[in-house]
């Protein structure tokens, strides 16, 4: 059976995806309250905003769990069949929603962390905010374009 390079998958990619996602799941769900930063003798400052984590973590968990499910399906099937390609489009749509909420919802980095950075490097607090916001915006646009391309390819192939 000849495999099309667009639909065949490397098992190692799926295995790495599952392992990395599981590590991230554990870190954020078990230790997000302990992720902190300290400069010199200062007290530990939480990196992430509690409000933002409260809002985003359930969405991330769904996205990460569905991503693991996709990687397991790819391992079992060995190629990207129609159902898996549709599954990827749904995952991309969820990513678009999450990125939109990251842009419009509470800022992911805690105010205390931004203040700590600003105290030690005058422009860094604002720069972090700008860089992350720009990153989320670029990620949103890129993901939306990639999703549109996936949909167009799928529709063209089915026509």
Work out the pLDDT band at 41, boundaries 50, 70, 90: low
Structure confidence at residue 122 (pLDDT)? 74
Query: Do 53 and 3 contact (CB within 8 A), yes or no?
Result: no
Structure confidence at residue 42 (pLDDT)? 63
Q: Helix count (H) and strand count (E) of the chain?
A: 5, 2
Cβ-proximal residues to 112 (8 Å cutoff; 6+ apart), any chain:
45, 46
Work out the pLDDT band at 127, boundaries 50, 70, 90: confident
> Which range has the worst mean pLDDT, 38-42, 122-126, 127-131, 138-142?
38-42
Tokens representing residue 77 in the block: 């099937």
d(CA 9, CA 71): 10
Asked if the model's pLDDT at residue 39 lies above 80, the reply is no
pTM of the full structure: 0.85
Query: Do 21 and 53 contact (CB within 8 A), yes or no?
Result: no
Phi and psi torsions of 123, nearest 5°? -95, -5
Structure confidence at residue 1 (pLDDT)? 37
């Amino acid at each position: 059976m000849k495999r099309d390079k667009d639909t065949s998958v490397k098992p190692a990619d799926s295995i790495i995806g599952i392992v990395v996602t599981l590590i991230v799941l554990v870190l954020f769900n078990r230790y997000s309250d302990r992720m902190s930063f300290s400069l010199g003798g200062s007290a530990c400052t939480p990196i992430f905003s509690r409000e933002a984590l409260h809002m985003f973590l359930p969405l991330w968990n769904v996205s990460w769990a569905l991503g693991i499910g996709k990687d397991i399906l790819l391992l079992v099937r060995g190629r990207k069949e129609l159902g898996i390609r549709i599954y990827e489009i749904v995952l991309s749509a969820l990513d678009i929603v999450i990125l939109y909420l990251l842009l419009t919802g509470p800022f992911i980095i805690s105010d205390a962390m931004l203040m700590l950075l600003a105290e030690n490097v005058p422009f860094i607090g604002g720069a972090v905010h700008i860089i992350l916001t720009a990153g989320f915006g670029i990620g949103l646009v890129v993901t939306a374009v990639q999703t549109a391309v996936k949909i167009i390819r799928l529709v063209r192939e089915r026509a």
